Amino acid sequence: MQYTDNEAALIGGLISTYFLRPAVSAALKDSYTRVLEHLRTGRLSAGDLQQIQKALTFLTPTCRMSREAQRDLMGVNLKTTALLRSCH
């Protein structure tokens, strides 16, 4: 199981928008920059999936989105949980 192109784009967009801002610490930016690179190249590790899950958990209640976008975000969050379970 892996992310679809749309799911990867949603994850990448959220991470880029919220975690690569100038006000974000350098360590957090570096961490999410690596996650984005692994997402783009299809080399996600369990650690990357945990970072994605943390980002989704943090952003879900803070993002103002349409119902469809919220549903997409929930779907990606569920898939991330499933991917993490398959890593163990």
pLDDT tens for 13-52 read: 999 999 999 999 999 999 999 999 999 999 999 999 999 9
- Residue 84 — pLDDT band, cuts 50, 70, 90? very high
pTM (predicted TM-score): 0.89
Which own/partner contact pairs does 1-5 have at CB distance under 8 Å and 24+ positions apart?
Answer: 1/79, 1/82, 1/83, 1/86, 2/42, 2/44, 2/83, 3/39, 3/76, 3/79
Share above pLDDT 90 across residues of the chain, in percent, rounded to a whole number: 76
The pLDDT score that the predictor gives to residue 1 is 64
